[in-house]
Amino acid sequence: MDSLVHERVHSNLATLKLDTVESILDSYLESALSEGKSAIEILDYLMVQEINARKASIIEYRLMLSGISARKNLDDFDFTFQPSIDQNVIRDLRSLRFIHNCENVVLLGPAGVGKTHIAIGLTVDAINGGFSAYFTTANAMIEKLKMASNRDRLDRCLAGYARYNLLVVDEIGYLPLDRKAANLFFQVVSQRYEKNPTVFTSNKAFGDWGEILSDSVLASAVLDRILHHGTVVNIKGESYRLKKRRMSPQQSSAGGQGKV
């Protein structure tokens, strides 16, 4: 190839930010030409590589900003340890149909049964599936909203939480929310209602949410919206954290989950 043309192609690829094509062009062209590939096949291959690399870097970027503390995966979840979880329900959630259909998910159960693990796993699945997703604890979210409210930036902060294709709110109920906090929580729920789905986890039964939110009327309004379109996974079992400390882990009675 004419070296001037060769240089210009590389320089133009760099200007167009087609970094992957730029990096593989020379070696790929050599092998493709020797294999007798047509110009359209070569162009097609190079474009596919560029698009795949961009998708991978968007996924990596979203994972980095997703708020997850560890990259837990649902492939690593031991369902035999937690028989109250219906694997078909989890399989269906992993298909991400709930995101397409804008259905919420509520994971309920005592400490250590894997609520956070499953919630992180769904965040990772959603991002790998091309969605934007953000994982937060209820308290971290409320703190951010309170701070934004004090700085007259509440609307912008709420819009930020409303925007994600999937929001995951972990640990509802570990600490009770005061009236202002409960109201902020309600605003997040209502802004996402029927627009974008949310995954919630809690160690408290729905009957206790009035106490968590310091207001039973507000709790009804919140639950009404969350449960209108949603799946509840009620996990009843042993704490996985205590598993290794026990000689023979006993698995307790079956729980239940399904559409509501």
Q: Which does 47 bind (CB under 5 to 8 A by kind): ligand ADP, Mg ion, none?
A: none
Q: Which CB atom, from 45 or from 240, has the smaller least distance to ligand ADP?
A: 240
Burial call 238-252: b when 16+ CB within 10 Å, e when fewer:
bebeeeeeeeeeeee
Q: Which does 192 bind (CB under 5 to 8 A by kind): Mg ion, ligand ADP, none?
A: none
Residues 229-248 that bind ligand ADP (CB under 6 A): 240-241
Helix axes 138-150, 154-163, angle to 10 degrees: 150
Cα distance between residue 260 and residue 251, in whole Å: 26
Q: Is 111 in the site for ligand ADP (CB under 6 A)?
A: yes
Q: Which of residues 20, 104, 116, 202 is near Mg ion by CB under 5 A?
A: 116
- Of residues 35, 44, 6, 33, the one with CA closest to residue 22: 6
Q: Which CB atom, from 28 or from 240, has the smaller least distance to Mg ion?
A: 240
Q: Which of residues 81, 149, 178, 187 is near ligand ADP by CB under 6 A?
A: 81
Binding mask 37-76 for ligand ADP (x = CB under 6 A): -----------------------------------x---x
Q: Which does 75 bind (CB under 5 to 8 A by kind): Mg ion, ligand ADP, none?
A: none
Q: Which of residues 20, 66, 82, 136 is near ligand ADP by CB under 6 A?
A: 82
Within 8 A by CB and 6+ apart from 32, the residues are: 41, 42, 45
Q: Which CB atom, from 114 or from 158, has the smaller least distance to Mg ion?
A: 114
Q: Record the tokens describing residue 170, joined without a space.
A: 């972990």
Beta strands 256-259 and 230-234: pairing type?
antiparallel
Q: Record the tokens describing residue 153, joined without a space.
A: 């930036």
Q: Which does 206 bind (CB under 5 to 8 A by kind): ligand ADP, Mg ion, none?
A: none
Beta strands 230-234 and 198-202: pairing type?
unpaired
Q: Which does 117 bind (CB under 5 to 8 A by kind): Mg ion, ligand ADP, none?
A: ligand ADP
Helix axes 3-15, 19-34, angle to 10 degrees: 140
Phi first, then psi: give them for residue 178, nearest 5 degrees: -75, 175
Q: Record the tokens describing residue 111, joined without a space.
A: 């400490």
Beta strands 230-234 and 104-108: pairing type?
parallel
Q: Which CB atom, from 62 or from 115, has the smaller least distance to ligand ADP?
A: 115
Specify the stretch interacting with ligand ADP by CB under 6 A; choose among 105-113, 155-163, 191-199, 204-212: 105-113
Count of positions (residues) in the chain: 260
Specify the stretch interacting with ligand ADP by CB under 6 A; choose among 36-44, 77-85, 126-134, 152-160: 77-85
Q: Is 116 in the site for ligand ADP (CB under 6 A)?
A: yes
Judging by beta carbons within 10 Å of its beta carbon (0-12, 13-18, 19+), is residue 172 exposed, middle or buried? buried
Q: Give residues in contact with ligand ADP (CB under 6 A).
A: 72, 76-78, 81-82, 109, 111-117, 240-241
Q: Give residues in contact with Mg ion (CB under 5 A).
A: 116
